[in-house]
Amino acid sequence: MSVRNSLSTLYAKCYQKCSPGLKSILSKSVFTLTDKPSVNHSNHPIGKKFPGEYKGALVITADFELGWGWCYSKGNENPSGMAQRARKNFPVLMNMFEAYRMPVTWATVGHLFLRTCTKRSHTWMHRIPYFESKNLKYDRGDWFDVDPYTDWDRAREWYGPDLIEMILNSRIAHEIGCHTFSHIDFSYTKCPPEVAEDEMKACIDAAKKWGIALKSFVFPAGTYGHFEMLKKYGFTNYRMKLNYDLTYPFVDQHGLIALPSSSSLENNGLGWSADYCIKRYKKYIDKAIQNEVLCHFWFHPSVDEWFLNNVFPHIVRYAAELRDKKLLCIETAGTVAEFVTSAQRGI
């Protein structure tokens, strides 16, 4: 294990045992006294790095889940409450992204493409066995017990065709990606291959009815696995927590483009001021430009109101200003992956 990995492991163990106050102090201290956000300098390509004449790049992905992301969460979030908040935030987010011409990759839980379903709709799918992971716990009943088996107008926590339409009808060329069909643990140890494959098939079929070809993938709750399944079903890229916060995208052993998971755009509950949060996120963007690498932010549409109003707009505006100065390329995950793949082939 490298020194960097050893220190990261030690930091994670200490952080877990700290009170919220100490977590805040520890995180701020590490961010100030070390090279955070960390940058991978080893895989820079020769020549043009990003679309256009930009120095660095930014991708923003939304983990678009409504109730599905929270029904087996160990954080005790209320699925209906989180879904309602996401729906309330959606017009605000869409207007903000349009105002700053900010394309976003909406990593969508496949069930949200549906307008309606019945108890027979998902019986063909293999079920994930009972499991417990860092963020999820499923130990009783059937995985689809949470499914109301009705239509989107009666159960808007579990279906999202109206929001899909909002994304597709936007003046901004957003991307719709995949977050599995039902927000399962996608790791090799918890998810059998037949379950992963059925989730892929269900997502692709649901998206196809909207005329959408899924290319970008986000693993639910950081449960990485079944990369070869992504390749088999035509995905080109994924977001993953790497050893570095900022890096140039690279081709993995399966021929997929790996994008870094730089930081979430959300309130971490540590009581940080808006000014400090803004300063911290700006540093990610600045270092991406200085080092000609990619910064990849992500968020949930259920982001809390304080962060949505006091932090998020400042980050989006700052990024847009740097784009307009020809310093920061802002694109979807799919577009960046396509560019990197073409550059690798010398096209």
Provide the whole-model pTM: 0.92
- Helix ranges restricted to H, 66-160: 79-99
Instruction: Give the number of other CB atoms < 10 A from CB of residue 116.
Output: 14
- Locate the domains of the chain by residue range: 35-345
Residue 29 has a CB neighbour count (10 Å cut-off) of 10
pLDDT tens by residue, 43-71: 777 667 888 889 999 999 999 999 999 99
Segment 72-128, tens digit of pLDDT: 998 877 999 999 999 999 999 999 999 999 999 999 999 999 999 999 999 999 999
| Cα Rg of the chain, angstroms | 20
Query: What is the rounded CA–CA span in Å between residue 263 and residue 295?
Result: 8
State the residue for tokens 């954080």.
75
Confidence of residue 296 (pLDDT cuts 50, 70, 90): very high
- Asked if 278 and 258 touch (Cβ cutoff 8 Å), the reply is no
Identify the residue whose tokens are 């396509």.
338
Report the SS3 class of residue 118: coil
Judged by DSSP in three states, 104 sits in coil
User: Which CATH superfamily hosts domain 35-345?
Assistant: Glycoside hydrolase/deacetylase (3.20.20.370)
- The answer to whether 229 touches 196, Cβ cutoff 8 Å, is yes
